[in-house]
Amino acid sequence: MADQTMSIVWIGAGTGLTINRIRTASGASTILADLLAISQADKLNTWEGDLTVNSSPAPGGGTYPGLNQVANLLFLCADGTTAQIRLPAPSLSIMLADGVTVDPTTITTLIADCVGNLQSASGSLAVSFQAGRLNNV
């Protein structure tokens, strides 16, 4: 399969919308499902070829309900470059006690779905998870 790009419009319980893009070798549907399981935001629209519209999104509340709080998840790729996924409104359950650092043991399914599939801008595939950190945008 050719390289794939998925775009996601996120909606949070707070105000506003945000969008991010995931580049993969074989599609991002499993990565999106993993992200939704650990976010308090919900997808409003996704497209990876055809546009998919969620006509009744139901974002949760939580500690980080707005779209201004983003967990940046960084993956190392085979050629030494990095690929990043921005997770809006992350669930508090994926954070260490500091409330800022992502605990990789809580996102093992997402990591497994990204390794060998998620691509950096150079097209290189992710080989390992490096770090995750909460940032305000």
Give the tens place of pLDDT for each residue, 92-113.
999 999 999 999 999 999 999 9
CA 82 to each of CA 36, 127, 135: distance values in angstroms, whole numbers, following the listed order? 22, 10, 18
Is 86:72 a contact under the CB 8 Å cutoff? yes
Residue span of the structural domain in which 99 resides: 4-136
Local structure of residue 27 (DSSP, 8 states)? -
Instruction: Report the domain count for the chain.
Output: 1
Q: What is the pLDDT of residues 26-70, one digit of tens each?
A: 899 999 999 999 999 999 999 997 657 788 888 877 777 677 889
